[in-house]
Amino acid sequence: MVVFEVHRNGLKLCTAGVGERGVMSIIAMWRSREPAQDADTLELSVGGLAPTDPDHQMHWINAPLQVGDCVTIKVLASPAADPPELSERPRRLDILRDKQEYVREMARELGWTVTEA
């Protein structure tokens, strides 16, 4: 299978892999907010979706980054990967609530009114 071997500043953080089919992602994110809100965010995340269950989310890394960090990704073929630090399957009810809240938020943004059945 294809795996991502992720290093920060020369130290190996993880080898992520989901199997022969699935989705993996590595995100280096920076977010700056208004001064009255939270401080800036700079973080690294490595995650994936299981090949047999697209609702099964896997997370290997969710760690802060600092200016000057060097992140290296090696794309390898390997029969094994590290187990994820967090493996979760959101409940169907939580997924439905998230979708409903998203629709309400978009309706507010567009000036629409949502009438519930």
Instruction: Tell me the two tokens of residue 46.
Output: 């490595």
Q: What is the CA radius of gyration of the chain?
A: 18
The segments of the chain whose pLDDT lies below 70 read 34-38, 54, 89-93
What pLDDT score was predicted for residue 97? 82
Tell me the percentage of the chain whose pLDDT exceeds 70.
88
Q: Give the whole-angstrom CA distance, residue 18 versus residue 40.
A: 31
Percent helix, percent strand, percent coil in the chain, to nearest 5: 15, 40, 40
What pLDDT score was predicted for residue 3? 97
What pLDDT score was predicted for residue 2? 96
| pTM for this model (two decimals) | 0.70
What pLDDT score was predicted for residue 54? 66
